Amino acid sequence: MASENPNEPPGPYPTGQHIIPPPRPASPATAEYRLNHLMLRIKDPKKSLRFYNDCFGLHVVFIFNVGPWTIYYLGPRDVTISSLGTSKGLLELYHIPSDSSLSYTSGNDYTSNPSGIGFGHIGFTVPDVAEAIKHVESFGYEVIKPLGEAKEDQMAVPQEVVEGRAGAVDEGYKHVFRQLAFVRDPDGYWVELVPQVVKPPEIA
């Protein structure tokens, strides 16, 4: 059944175009709801805190030892434990020692772990992607996708897309993708570096 909500227009959608529906109608039941945080399982708190705090400017809001695992709650520097409920951009890290022999998956690797597909990446907007890459590299972390490239095998998509059997990736998307970068965190999760302003294609 097609949605009658104009904020959820039915497809199919034309390739290479942003579909911008009108805002969703007001809902008193969810008026104060906001996306608050993401949770990642981590193997080494010291490495993960170095990555997210030193490379990306978050800070530890609180640490809570649950017994079987420890929670590290991260957020922007102006966030305190008393403002968590109304804050945005929070990251919750779970260190579970009993998982030591269990491999975590980033959710992007179709080739070696097809059962792990799911979670994709965390995204940070930054003033200058090239400078952010240099900053991350200075800490010794891996750049998965540098600036200026837009290869299908860098997009975390199935092999049929990489090989072109599912159709061509839109050139408009590739233009945007060239302005992004991806790095890998200590547990293999992908982190996207997004410019604060994405440049439109040049008009010939």
Residues designated as active site: 192
Q: DSSP letters of 154-199?
A: GS---HHHHTTTT-PPPHHHHHHHTT-EEEE-TTS-EEEEEESSPP
| DSSP for residue 140 | T
- Chain position carrying tokens 């049929």: 160
Single-letter code of the amino acid located at 83: S
Q: How far is CA 6 from the centre of its chain?
A: 27
Question: Backbone phi, then psi, for 64, in 5-degree steps?
Answer: -135, 115
Distances (CA, A) of 173 to 42, 141, 194, 199, 201: 32, 26, 14, 12, 10
The candidate with the shortest Cα–Cα distance to 62, out of 47, 40, 79, is 79
Tokens describing residue 157? 């998509």
